[in-house]
Amino acid sequence: MGDGEGRGSQDPAAPHPADLVRDPGAAHEQALQRLSEGRLAEAESLFRGLREVLGPAGRLVVEQNLAVLEWRRGNFAASWRWVRSVMTRRPRQGADLARRLAFHAQLFGVHDIFWTALAASRSLAPEDLRAWSMAHVAADFRGAPAEHRTLKALPDSLRQPRHRKPRSGPAPRRIALVISDLGSFSRMFQPFVRLRQLGFDLSWIHLVEQDGGGEGNLPEGEALSVPGRDAQAQVAAIEASDPDVVIDLASHSQPDVLAAYCQCDSPLLLGWAGNAVTSGTGFFDGWLTDASLCPPGAERHYAEPVIRLPVTSVTVEPIGEYPQAGVLPLDRNGHVTFGSFHRICKISTEALDLWAELLRAQADARLLMKAPFLDDMAAASRIRDAFKERGIPSWRIDLRGGSDQDAHRAAMQAVDVALGGFPEQGLVTDFECFMLGVPTVSLRVDDRPCACLSDLLSRAAGAPFLVTRRPRDYLERALGLAGDAGYLRQARQCYRENILSSGITDHTATASAMGEAIRQLWSGAAGG
C-alpha cells in the first residue's frame, strides 16, 4: 500500500474499471456529486476506481479529492497521508492542500495534525499569507509547541514599510471599516456603527469568498463587497473610498487583506482589540484596546503601538429574548452539571486534563459540551476517548452539536457552572452564559489579549473571583461553586442585570472614546 493509500470505510460495491475507462469524466463528476452530498462511501469507491485507470495527472486530482473526503469523514490521519502523496509530486498544490487540512483539523481540535500539516505548508509555500496567519493566530491563541514557533516568521511580502499619504485637515473625517464576519457584526461591531453619529463618514468594505452578497446585512450607507482573496481588488476598494483612516476588523479571518494593507496609503491604519491578537506586522499605526485587555506591561504582545481607551474597547449586543431563570439544574437533577460551550479548537489538552480531574473530584457530576462539529461522530469519539483515557466514562459526558439560538440558550441553562477554555478564552459565548446567570470559571494563563477576555466579563457580571491564575485555583473555584447551591441560585437572578448595567453593552461610550482616540492620533497626541 502506497503512502497515500490509508483506507476508510470503502463501499463494497465498487464500480467496474471498464465503466470508468469508458467515461472517466462522467465518473469523476459523479464522485464529486456524491462527495458534496455527503455520500462518502460511494464517492470513495468511485475515486479509488478512477485512481486505478487514470494517468498521473488524473490520479493527482483524485488524490486531492480523497484527502478532502477523509477530512470530511473526520479521518485526519488518512487525509494527511493523501496530502503527503500530493506534496511529493506537486509541492505548490500540496502546500495549499496541507493548509486546508490544517484549517479543518484545527476546527475539530486535532492539534497534532494541525501543526504537522501547517509546518509542511509553510515549508513549501513560505509566502502563503493564510498559512502564516493560521500559525501566527494559533501560536498567540493556543501557544505553539516550541518546535513550531518559527512558523510565525513574517513572510517577506509583509516586511516592506507602508507608504502613507500626508494628513490633510485638522481632523479626520472619512473612515473605511474592513469587515468579513457578518455573523459578529450585530454583536461586537456596534461602536463602529455609532461613529457616524460623531461626525465621521463611514464606508464599509466587506470581504467575501466570492463576488457579491452580503450588502443587505451591512449598515445604511456606502457598502462594497470585495473578493476576500484578491488583494488588488481590496486596495482598489479602499482607495475608492479615499479614507483618512482604515480600521481593520477582518484580517484574521481573511488574512489576504494584509497584502492590501501594506499597499494602503491612508494616513492612518488601525487595528482593534476584538481581533484578540496582534496583526504581527509593522505597518499599523495603532491598536485600539483598553487596560483590561492590555494591562500595563502587555505591550510586548503587540507589533503595533497600543492605544488604550478609558472605557472598554469591546462591547457585545444582547440579541433576542433571553429566557427567565428557571430551576437550578442541581436542584432538579440532584447532581451538579458542568458545561463547556466554546469551539472545540479552543479546548486544549491542559483543559481536558483539568476537567477530568474536576469530574474525578466531583464523582456524581456530569459535563455537557456543546459546540459545532460535536454532532460529528468522529469528533465526538475523539472527545469521549480523551476522557476515557483520563478515567471518565462516556455516560458522564453529554456531547451536543450546533443548534439554533433558543436551543443553545436552553443548553446553557441546563448547566450549573460553565468551564472556560484556556489559554484562548471566549467573549460572546461567555457573555451568553453570564446573561443566563451561569457562572463561568476561567483561567488567565498570562496577559495575552486572548487570555484577558474573561476578566472583562467577570467584572461586568459582578463576579471577578471567577477568574483564576493557576490550574489548582481553577479546580478549587469550580468545586466551590458546585458545593454552593445558594450562590448558584443567586447568580441566576443577578448576573444579567449586572451585565446590562456595565459598560460591556454601552456602544455609544465606546464609540465616543474611539472617536476621541482617532482624533488625538491624527493630531499626534494619542498615547497608550
pLDDT bucket at 10, cuts 50 / 70 / 90: very low
User: What would the DSSP string read from start to end of 440-496?
Assistant: EEEE--SS-GGGSHHHHHHHHTT-GGGEESSHHHHHHHHHHHHT-HHHHHHHHHHHH
Adjacent-strand bridge partners of 268 = 245
DSSP state of 320: S
Residue 148 has pLDDT above 70, yes or no: no
| Per-position b or e across 166-181, b if 16+ CB within 10 A of its CB | ebeeeebeebbbbbbb
Span 29-47, average pLDDT: 92
Residue 304 makes CB contacts below 8 A (sequence gap 6+) with: 271, 278, 279, 284, 285, 286, 287
pLDDT bucket at 216, cuts 50 / 70 / 90: very low
Span 291-301, average pLDDT: 91
Least confident span in 98-112, 403-417, 462-476: 98-112
Closest CA to 46 of 61, 28, 64, 60: 28
Adjacent-strand bridge partners of 484 = none
| Per-position b or e across 137-156, b if 16+ CB within 10 A of its CB | bbbbbbbbeeebeebbeebe
State the pTM of this model.
0.88
Cell of 229: 482573496
Residue 142 has pLDDT above 80, yes or no: no
pLDDT digits (tens, 9 = 90+) for 53-79: 889 999 999 999 999 999 999 999 999
**Strand (E) or helix (H) holding 33:** helix 24-36
Least confident span in 77-86, 93-102, 245-254: 245-254
Span 226-231, average pLDDT: 89
Q: Residue 14: what pLDDT?
A: 56
The phi and psi torsions of 443 (rounded to 5 degrees) equal -125, 115
CA 71 to CA 79: how far, in whole Å? 6
- Per the listing, cell 463494497 goes with 12
Q: Residue 12: what pLDDT?
A: 46
Span 386-392, average pLDDT: 96
Q: Residue 267: what pLDDT?
A: 95
With H, G, I as helix, E, B as strand and everything else as coil, classify residue 253.
Answer: coil
Span 214-224, average pLDDT: 55
Where are the strands (E) in 310-414, listed by range?
Answer: 337-340, 366-370, 397-400
Span 126-136, average pLDDT: 89
In sign, the C-alpha dihedral spanning 100, 103, 104, 109 is positive
Cell of 120: 509542511
Q: Residue 224: what pLDDT?
A: 86
Higher pLDDT, 400 or 209: 400
Span 430-440, average pLDDT: 96
Higher pLDDT, 497 or 279: 497
pLDDT digits (tens, 9 = 90+) for 469-506: 999 999 999 999 999 999 999 999 999 999 999 999 99
Higher pLDDT, 277 or 182: 277
Closest CA to 260 of 289, 237, 290: 237
Q: Residue 276: what pLDDT?
A: 81
Span 514-520, average pLDDT: 97
Residue 223 has pLDDT above 90, yes or no: no
**Strand (E) or helix (H) holding 289:** strand 286-290
- Measured from the Cβ of residue 481, the count of other Cβ atoms closer than 10 Å reads 22
Can you say whether residue 38 is alpha, beta or left, with left for phi > 0 and alpha for psi between -120 and 50 degrees?
left
pLDDT bucket at 9, cuts 50 / 70 / 90: very low
pLDDT digits (tens, 9 = 90+) for 350-376: 999 999 999 999 999 999 999 998 988
Least confident span in 37-51, 109-123, 179-193: 179-193
Span 385-389, average pLDDT: 96
Residue type at position 440: T
pLDDT bucket at 219, cuts 50 / 70 / 90: low
Residue 403 has pLDDT above 80, yes or no: yes
pLDDT digits (tens, 9 = 90+) for 185-206: 568 999 999 999 999 999 999 9
With H, G, I as helix, E, B as strand and everything else as coil, classify residue 432.
Answer: helix
Query: Is there a cis peptide before residue 91, judged by omega within 30 degrees of 0?
Result: no
Distances (CA, A) of 306 to 91, 265, 440, 526: 40, 21, 29, 10
Q: What percent of the chain has pLDDT over 90?
A: 65
Q: Residue 365: what pLDDT?
A: 97
With H, G, I as helix, E, B as strand and everything else as coil, classify residue 222.
Answer: strand
Q: Residue 368: what pLDDT?
A: 98
User: What would the DSSP string read from start to end of 125-181?
Assistant: -TT-HHHHHHHHHHHHHH---GGGGGGGPPPGGG-SPPP-PPP-SSS--EEEEEE--
pLDDT bucket at 41, cuts 50 / 70 / 90: very high
The phi and psi torsions of 21 (rounded to 5 degrees) equal -65, -40
Residue 213 has pLDDT above 50, yes or no: no
Closest CA to 412 of 438, 374, 375: 438
Residue 487 makes CB contacts below 8 A (sequence gap 6+) with: 439, 481
Residue 15 has pLDDT above 70, yes or no: no
Distances (CA, A) of 187 to 40, 52, 219, 370: 37, 51, 13, 20
Which runs of consecutive H residues, i.e. helices, occur in 147-281?
182-188, 190-193, 231-241, 257-261
With H, G, I as helix, E, B as strand and everything else as coil, classify residue 526.
Answer: coil
Residue 374 makes CB contacts below 8 A (sequence gap 6+) with: 344, 380, 383, 399, 400, 401, 402
Adjacent-strand bridge partners of 223 = 204
Span 316-330, average pLDDT: 92
Span 303-331, average pLDDT: 94
With H, G, I as helix, E, B as strand and everything else as coil, classify residue 368.
Answer: strand
Least confident span in 48-62, 179-193, 249-263, 319-333: 179-193
